[in-house]
Every structure is written in structure tokens, then in C-alpha cells.
Amino acid sequence: MKRFFKFVFKALGILLVILILAFGFLYYYSVNYDMYELSLDKEAFPELKSEADIPVLAAQLVSQMSLEEKIDQMYGESYSSVAKLGINFLLRGRFPHVYTGGNERLNIPPWVLSDGPRGARVMDQDVFGVTTFPVAMARGASWDTDLERRIHEVIAIEMRANKTNYAATPCLNLLRHPAWGRAQETYGEDPYLLGEFGVAAVQGIEKHNVMACPKHFALNSLDNSRLFVDVQVDERTLREVYLPHFKKTVQKGKPASIMSAYNKVNGEYSANNTYLLTDILRNEWGFTGFVTSDWVYGTRDGIGSIKAGLNAEMPFQNHYSDENIKEGIEAGEITEEDIDRLIVESLSTRLRYAMADDSMEYSKELIASKEHTDLAREAAEKSMVLVKNESVLPFEKEGQDKTILVLGRLADMENTGDHASSDATPSYVVTPYQGIVNYQKETGNRVELYSGEDLEIAREKASKADHVILVVGYTFEDEGEYMIMEGAMKKSAEAGKLIGEPGIGGDRENLNLVAEDENLIGAVAGVNPNTVVVYVGGSAIDMAPWEDKIPAILFAWYNGMEGGNALAHILYGEVNPSGKLPFSIARNAGDYPFFNPYTMKIEYGYYHGYTLFDKKEIEVAYPFGHGLSYTTFDYDSLVVETIDVDKKTVKVRAQVSNTGKVMGEEVVQLYVGFANSEIDRPVKLLKGFDKIAIESGESRTVEFQIDLEELAWYDPESKTWKIEEMEYEVFVGPSSNEDTLLKSTFSIE
């Protein structure tokens, strides 16, 4: 018996050594994977003289491919690279390069995707840390499209320095309900705002020969059931509410690519949806780029996706397998010409970027450079929204020997948002507490940090402090991309409620702050008049339980690597807050549209956000476009200047004056009203905005040009867009609150 156990132990020891060696071998090659050149070797194609030659070359290259080589163009990597992705992501906290569509025999370079909503997601093997910006929702709150363009230029530069050339950004899904977990990845609730930011993002990315990929096409506004949910939507709602921002981004931004969504739309998965991918995207909008699936579960039916027009399955070969495609061809479900068309579409686009000359060198020294991190701080400063201020902010800068209490479990946490696909790895993070400490270094003031665990101690400290900065909100565990196994997600979706473990991130099941934060607010409320609540998160919250007890509320969002420094600059008046809410905040949580994160089917209606509240005359807590400043602005002299039917434009101007004591930036908003419409339409819709800087005591004239096509509604019967001949209202002011808006009219005849 001893010999037997000795033999077993020896065998187990040998097996353990073999396993350790095997894992070590796998780890080494997963981390030190091969890297490939992404630019086209122009010497290999002497016939290529200009961009006009590329489609011809693409067709010629496809004609030289075997069927197996063609299929290789249609997916990311083989399943053998699962270890590379898993080891790098789970053990090293980084995404590796996933090379797609290369062919060494034909000198075709691959392309490499990097997520990028707030920074370059994929990093080179010897790089750790990139410039990390505030989340997209925060930047939407800046209402500054020039800023968004500059941010995406930096993201593109750092992607190129990290040897990637395809950006899975911007996210253009509409915020239908504030509980959506991935709200932080988009720009707000309004299609016009989304479209303007989408165009700016694409233009910034593609300036540096990075292929932009707006996502997720379409109607992906719910996360916990996103792999299975069937979104039901009527044609007018689809066309007027959920697609206009994609249309504008495609037609004006001209992105190289589009990413399809996980969810179904009217019974058909997005990646199989011919109506979305071919009829609308290509045939109506004129899109000439290529469409990729969302990752891992983005395709469900390879043959159906080929028919629908999906060019590439990501990140692995699954439904676009050699076996499936060959069987589909043999059965007559698809033809090899169908495959050729998809590859020519993608290759024609990819080669155009691969052959383009660069305007600069993309060295690694540019990554997280001072110029880039300064922009991250500027973005955080311009994004913060002063929601409420009862003469508390800005805090007094003068004087010494003050005690400043920075309070809350998030006060010294590196908390930049979601930890899934939209994450970026910052080279450093300035927390709220660290930012206040940095600012107060020269003043001699004391900065005290307390987590707030003991409410009595928190209350006592708050009562004795000169300034109380209470940081509350969420982390990646509370909201974000829902991280749970597919099977567990489906069980909950089928049951209509959570089954089993809750997972990480995902949709919020209510809009309240976590109990720990609300208890802390309750404990310190009223004990110190110089108190501000700083909210960190990605969307609207229900402040009803405590907002009347707090004199100042600042939405700071997940505000990136420089967020703490930016926060100090706002609180102490070095920077005048200029952000505005990119969504409405309801007075009662029940006033929002129906939302269930666990469902197999949901209907998206025509009204949501401020259009819903306007239509039903529901009083809100804070309107869409709301945001306070340390100065005041007056609006007057609204004039409809010209109506040019031939050029299909309406010009409007108004005067804005800074009547306060400091310079400030104001977001001037223009809405068009449809009170005289013969069909059901919103009370008003955003159709223009401009962020302007005005010195104290000065006035500026702001001009808008409204494209008449922005006034159109979609007629499902004739399948056409129609502009009503009637009198339209036009509103200009600081928010969607009609009481604050100047009003005029114009007629289209």
C-alpha cells in the first residue's frame, strides 16, 4: 500500500510540474504575443496611385483568395487566442492586441480594435497607463463639441502610439432611462445632442488615421438583459428617436465602421437585421464602411448575419466558422459572391486608412503627456454641473488656518468608472481628497479625510469644519457593463427578476444613492452651512430624500485621472462651472418610462426624458440643460433672421449678456416647438446649442442655423420624411424649462 501511495504522490507531483510548466509556457506566449505592422507596404502595390484605386485593388485581392482565406478576413482571431485575451485581461488588467483580417501572402495588413470612450483601452506591451478622460456622459454635460473633438484626437494619438488603429467609440445609444448601467458611455437623452457629439468624436478620431466605430447599432439602452432582450419599437419612434444620431454621425462624420448591438430589434438580432444593416444603414444612409459585431455574443446566426450585411465577427471565429460558411454555400443559403461583397466592403475601407500618410510621429512619449493630461483636467472642469447652490460656492479662497473636511467612502477612491470594455488604465488618478490637498498646499489650511463610517463622528467633524465636501455616488460594482455569465443573464431575463448572484455593474434597480451615502448625508445635513454634496456617477439620481437639506450639489461624474484637481478648481472658484445636465431629473422616479433590467421583451415608446415630461406636463426636479454658474446671464433680442427655403435653412439669433461679476461660459440652447402640428409630436425639441465665453458686463450675439430637415417627421405609410407647412415656435435660453426661454415663431409654407 505504501508503494501505491508513493507512486500516486510521485505521479501527482510530475503532473503538477507539467501543469505549472504548461501554464508558464501559455502565460509567456500570451503576454509576449507577436506584433504586426498595421500600415500598407506601398512598394508591394505600385499600381496604387490614389484612394480611387483602392476599391479596384480590394476586388483584385479578394479574387486571389481561396475560400479559407476569405473566411479569415471575416473574424478577429481563432479560439486558440482565448488564452491571450483571458490571461491579459484577468491577470494583467489589460486588453491585448487582437489582430483581424491580415494576409501575409497578399501583403494585407491587419487591423486592431481598441475600445476608447474615455482613453486608449489596448496598450502596447511595454506601456502601462494612458490619458484617461471623464466618461462620455460627463463630456456630454460640457455641451462642448470642440472639446469632444480634441479629446478624441488625443485618444487617437495614444491609440496609434499603442499600435492600434480602430476605435470602438463613440457610444451613441440614447439614455432612455437613467438606471441604464452603461449610461456613462453615452452623451445623454437627446438625439440632437448625441448626433452633434457623435460627429465631433468621429472627426477627432479619424484625423489620425484611426478607424472610428460608433456603437451599438441599435436600441441598446438596457444592459442586464442585453444579450437576449427583444426591443419592440414602432417605425416613427425608431426613425425619429433612436436612429437620428446614428444617421447624422454616419452622414456627416463618415466613420469607417459601425458596431451592431447585442439585442434584438422587433424580433431580429441586430447582427442579423437586414432592415437595420442593409436597408437603412447602406441603402438609405449611404454608409460605405464595414460593420462588426459586438464582442463574443454579438452574433447568433452566421448565415443570417452574412445575408444581413455583417462584415466581421468579433473577437473570435464562432458563427463565422469555416464549417458554417461552407455548409451555407453548399446548401445554397449564401453564395461565395455574398462573401466577396462583404470582404471588398471592409477591405476597401481598411486599405484607405492603412495607406494614408500620417501628419505626425506617434511616439510612446506622447502617451499621458502633460498636454494630454491637461486636456483631461480641462474636460473634467468643463463637465461638472452645479445643480444647486444657495450662496455656498465658490468656497472662500482667502484666509488661513481653515479646516476642510473631505467626507465619504468615495472621497479618496480612484474611481474613474466602468471596469469592463469602456475602461482605460490611467497612468495616475487624482482623487477628490488628493485634489483638495493639492490645492490647499500653499494656503496653510488643514485638509482632513474621513470615510464617514461612524455617523456621530462624521456629524461632529462636519460641525467643526469650515468647509464640508461630502463625496457620494457609485463605483464600477454598482453600475456599468453587466459582468455575469450568459446563462445567469438569461435565467434572470426569462424570470423577469434577478435569479442568483447579482453580478458586477449593470443596470441600477433604483435611482437612490446607496444606503450608506444617504445615511451619511442625513447625519451631516444642517450642521454646517458650508456643505456641498459632490456626486460621482454616470447618470441621474433621485435626490428627493435629501436635496432640501443640502445647500449645494455638484455633479462631478466619473471625472477621469485629473478629476480631483478639477474638483478643487471648481469648488474654490478657480474655474467657473459651465456644465449643463444632458438629461432631465424627474421629481418622482415613477415619472420615467417603464424600465425592468431583467426582461426578454420591452417596448420603447415615442416619448422619454424632457419630451415625455413636456407632453404630460410633469414637473421635474431639474430640467434637461440645467446648470448653474458663479455668474448670471440674461437673454434678450430673439430674432428669426431669415428663412431660406431654397437652401433649406432658418437663421435665428439672440443676445446673451453676462450680468455677474466674473467671466463665465454659457450653453445657449435652441428648441423648436410643434404646437401647431396636425400629428402627435413633442412640445419642443433641441435643434441647436452653442457654448460661449462672456466677460463680466459684456454681451454677445449668438447665431443659429436650423436645417429644415431637422423639422421633419417620418411618415410610415409613405416611408418618407415630411416637413409640415405651418407656424413653428422657436425658443432660446439656458435650459429646456419653458419659463426661462425666449420665444418667437416662423412659418414654412
Annotated catalytic sites, by residue? 294
| Grid cell listed for 734 | 439656458
* Contact in structure between 151 and 133 (CB atoms under 8 Å): yes
Q: How far is CA 589 from CA 201, 473, 534, 544, 646, in A?
A: 32, 17, 21, 9, 46
Q: Report the alpha-carbon distance of residue 110 to residue 264 in Å, rounded.
A: 30
> Is the omega angle on the peptide bond into residue 380 within 30 degrees of 0, that is, cis?
no
Alpha carbons 113 and 314: distance in angstroms, whole number: 10
**C-alpha grid cell for residue 530?**
458650508
- Largest distance between two CA atoms of the chain: 101
Residue with cell string 447665431: 703
- Helix/strand/coil for 483: strand
Residue 138's H or E segment, with its range, is helix 136-142
Rounded to the nearest 5°, which phi and psi values hold at 110?
Answer: -80, 175
Provide CB contacts within 8 A for 509, sequence distance 6+: 179, 498, 597
Q: Which residues of 552-585 are buried (b: 16+ CB within 10 A; e: fewer)?
A: bbbbbbbbbbbbbbbbbbbbbeebbbbbbbbbbb
659's CB contacts (< 8 A; 6+ apart) are 631, 632, 633, 634, 697
Phi-psi region of 163 (alpha: psi -120 to 50; beta: other; left: phi over 0): left
The burial of 135, by beta-carbon neighbours within 10 Å (0-12 exposed, 13-18 middle, 19 or more buried), is given as buried
Three cell numbers written together for 7: 507512486
Q: How far is CA 316 from CA 94, 169, 280, 289, 708, in A?
A: 18, 20, 27, 21, 44
Q: C-alpha cell of 643?
A: 428663412
